[in-house]
A = this chain, B = another copy of it.
Amino acid sequence: MLKNVSKENDELCVYHVIHEDIVAQVKHGLTDDYHIQKVAELFRALNDPTRLKIINALLLAEMCVCDIASLLNMTQPAVSHHLKVLRQTNLVTYRRKGKIVYYALSDEHVRNVFYQGLLHASE
């Protein structure tokens, strides 16, 4: 009924658990830490207005870095930095054609996540 949540043994910060049964029951239903971490990474990639605008743009057309920079009125390194984040989260893909690198959305799944977010935001 009492739980010690301190990390050091010499400390003793105690908190009560009121509904032990519910806590135990919920604990079994929780998604594992690995997947929670993955989901957090996904949403972290989508929590920046600039990156959302990039996603939004790529929903409409495949674009190269300098065009995105121009569209969003940002410096090219800043855009490149954001694209790296989106790449690492598998939200975008790219293909090189000569000097130019074209970015596009990875799949329709990204579109769903974006629209789900927009739907919630529009309430």
Which residues of A94-108 are within 8 A (CB) of B?
100
Q: Of B15, B26, B48, B110, which contacts A63 at CB under 8 A?
A: B26
Query: With a CB–CB cut-off of 8 A, which chain B residues contact A16?
Result: 66
Residue of B nearest to A38 (CB): B121
Give the interface size bracket for A toward B: 35 or more
Main secondary structure of the interface of A (DSSP, over half): helix
Copies assembled? 2
Tell me the minimal C-beta distance from A118 to chain B in angstroms: 6
Q: Are A52 and B39 in contact (CB under 8 A)?
A: yes
Instruction: Map CB proximity to B onto A46-80 as digits: 1 under 8 Å, 0 otherwise.
Output: 11110011001101110110110111011110000
